[in-house]
Amino acid sequence: MTSAARALEQLLLPAECLLCHTLLAPLDAERLVCPICRHRWRAVRPPWCERCGQPEPHFGPCRLCAEWPAALTLVRSAVWLADGARDAVHALKYRSLPRIADDLAAAMVQSLLPGDEASVLVPIPLAPKRLRERGYNQSEALADALGRRWGIPMSRDVLTRTRETATQTALTPETRLANVAGAFTPGRRPGVNTPATRFVLVDDVFTTGATLAEAARALEQAGARTIYGITFGRAVIPDFT
């Protein structure tokens, strides 16, 4: 099928949910995920560590965020990375569907309040090579969609990625930290030494928090005082419960 024919087909066929393929109601025609699939995403809920948002079955200090830079004070994720939520992230990252970011942002918008201080959304950057391969940065698509909902700006100039890192999924929590060490540096226009600015790091998935912590470390070293983080998904890590 030619691309023109495919475009025509998309125009003539009613829009369907990307995940379950039911037809979307006219009201939801702009979306890629239907309301039923969105309601199936399982929200991450308290009780949790007040700082990193990880549910804590044990007493004592949280293992997950104990080593984080001090400026990274609050991190939340919207939903558990299971079933449909994993498919949605996969579509965002690998199926060239940055438009799905708005469906994901709709689920994230209540997870964290960026506050009334001057806040800036900072997407976790991709290395240039991966950005060229994918054509877009999925975290930037999320930050852009969130920024429109929250009414706060997004800046891609705050943080730069100095190198790509190995895919995190196969690594243990300890090797993940080493894997991302030094992967970020403040960007061309960091503005991080403005004390009133609250930086909100945005990423698609939180696994151990190593990526957010390393990005926060780079901003903190450049003078940032308050850094939040928000992700759409949170991976279940069996060895941390």
Say if residues 75 and 44 touch (Cβ distance below 8 Å). Answer: no
- Minimum CB separation of residue 64 from Zn ion in Å reads 5
Interface positions with Zn ion (CB under 5 A): 17, 19-20, 34, 37, 49, 51-52, 62, 64-65
Which lies closer to Zn ion via its Cβ, residue 95 or residue 129? 95
Q: Closest by alpha carbon to 92, among 42, 126, 118?
A: 126
Say if residues 41 and 85 touch (Cβ distance below 8 Å). Answer: yes
- Minimum CB separation of residue 56 from Zn ion in Å reads 7
Structural tokens at position 17: 């949910």
Which lies closer to Zn ion via its Cβ, residue 190 or residue 229? 229
Which lies closer to Zn ion via its Cβ, residue 52 or residue 202? 52
Which lies closer to Zn ion via its Cβ, residue 55 or residue 223? 55
- Minimum CB separation of residue 21 from Zn ion in Å reads 7
Number of residues written out for the chain: 241
Which lies closer to Zn ion via its Cβ, residue 192 or residue 201? 201
Say if residues 185 and 217 touch (Cβ distance below 8 Å). Answer: no
Can you tell me the distance from the alpha carbon of 190 to that of 92, in angstroms, rounded to the nearest whole number?
Answer: 27
- Minimum CB separation of residue 196 from Zn ion in Å reads 26
Residue 141 CB contacts under 8 Å (≥ 6 apart), including other chains:
92, 98, 101
Which lies closer to Zn ion via its Cβ, residue 64 or residue 120? 64
- Beta-bridge partners for 203: 231
Can you tell me the distance from the alpha carbon of 25 to that of 172, in angstroms, rounded to the nearest whole number?
Answer: 43
- Minimum CB separation of residue 118 from Zn ion in Å reads 26
Angle (CA) 88-90-94 rounded to 5° is 130
- Minimum CB separation of residue 208 from Zn ion in Å reads 11
